[in-house]
Amino acid sequence: MPAFSVTSPGKIILFGEHAVVYGEPAIATPVFPTQAKAIVSARIQGKPGEIWIEAPDISLSTSIDKLEKNHPLRSAIQIVIGDKDLDQVPSCNIQVISEIPPSSGMGSSAAISISIIRAFSAFLGIRLNDEQVSNFAYEVEKIHHGTPSGIDNTVISYQKPVYYRKGNPFEFLEIAEEFSVLIAYSGMPGNTREAVEGVRARWQKEPDRYNQIFSRMGEITQEAKVIIETGNPDHLGSLMNENHELLQEIGVSTPELDQLVLEARNAGALGAKLSGGGLGGHIIALVKSNIDYISRELEKKGAISTLITPVTNRDFNR
């Protein structure tokens, strides 16, 4: 039996983080240059039902039976088995490799889950569509994040840019003019749960002020959607800058992220902001020229790594 290998991209939020929790829209897009991979192969000497998982990035090599029942890697496998009501599966090895920094706001956990779900299903001869994969991954994401928005599993499963408002269906965006975003990782892991809880506590103390901020974030996201779907993406830069100022106001940026944002702008980016939960993680910058120079300057100022991703409707992995 051949090995089955699946890669899944990371993701970034372009606009709307935090405000999306309060009913405002958000825009997110896949990041194809950084990916998570799962490889499933038959375990020749294994007993029926024995599944061995290897994840060298976290120094894990064990049978899934020895993992906690709610361990995310075990859950990604068990959700396929349980949904298909399989009594027993062929013995197999599952290897997981990820380039996506964990706790960076780039969808590492969702990308790993989706790669496992797709590769393991293919090994079993089960065909899953994007919606099924996304739904399975969402159930696994609940283990990581409690009540996730569903953005990560949707963007990564469908591998398309999305526009989302809580309580409404996801809307896939048509990109009128492809543009490039530079991602710089601060090297400081973000803490989405802490950031979200902190914002909620401050919102409860000053609801009028925070609702005004969230409302403006929502307007920025809607303006960005129009630009993305009609062209002239250079105009997104000023919206990024304003969005970052609002994220600073609600207390989710850090001096290190602010420094990287400022350096990106000074080096020639059309705009820059933190992306994701904040309190660490990464920044994004809208770039059109001198990209190598901007990347070098950010690394001089403390970025651990940088990469460029297109925002596009092109299909990279399929």
pLDDT at 48 (0 to 100): 85
Give the pLDDT of residue 88.
Answer: 79
Catalytic residue among 152, 234, 292, 315: 152
DSSP 100-118: SPTTSSS-HHHHHHHHHHH
Same domain assignment for residues 300 and 211: yes
- Tell me how many domains the chain contains: 2
Contact 239, 271 (CB under 8 A): yes
Count of other CB atoms within 10 angstroms of residue 275: 30
Ordered per-residue pLDDT tens for the chain, 318 residues: 689 999 999 999 999 999 998 999 999 999 999 999 999 999 988 788 899 999 998 899 999 999 998 899 999 999 999 877 887 789 999 999 999 988 778 989 999 999 999 999 999 999 999 999 999 999 998 887 777 778 999 999 999 999 999 889 999 999 999 999 999 999 898 887 788 889 999 999 999 999 999 999 999 999 999 999 999 999 999 999 999 999 999 999 999 999 999 999 999 999 999 999 899 999 999 999 999 999 999 999 999 999 999 999 887 655
pLDDT at 135 (0 to 100) = 94
Determine the pLDDT at residue 84.
Answer: 74
Domain region containing 260: 179-311
pTM for the structure as a whole: 0.90
Q: Is residue 316 domain-resident?
A: no
Q: Is 152 a catalytic residue?
A: yes
β partners of residue 282: 185, 275
Domain endpoint, select from 143, 172, 201: 172
Other beta carbons less than 10 A from residue 57's beta carbon: 15
- Measured between alpha carbons, how far is 210 from 268 in angstroms, rounded to an integer? 31
- The answer to whether residue 69 is domain-embedded is yes
CA-only gyration radius of the chain, Å: 20
Domain C-terminal end among 140, 172, 204? 172
Residue 28: which CATH number? 3.30.230.10
pLDDT at 92: 95
Answer whether residue 18 is part of any domain: yes
24 and 84 assigned to the same domain: yes
Last residue of a domain, one of 152, 172, 192: 172
What is each CA distance from 54 to 37, 58, 84, 206, 275, in whole angstroms? 12, 9, 24, 47, 30
**What is the spatial distance between Cα 275 and Cα 282, in angstroms, rounded to a whole number?**
6
Give yes or no: residues 91 and 141 share one domain: yes
CATH number for the domain including 253?
Answer: 3.30.70.890
Distance CA 280, CA 188 (A): 5
The torsion angle over the Cα atoms of residues 233, 239, 244 and 249, rounded to 10 degrees, is -170
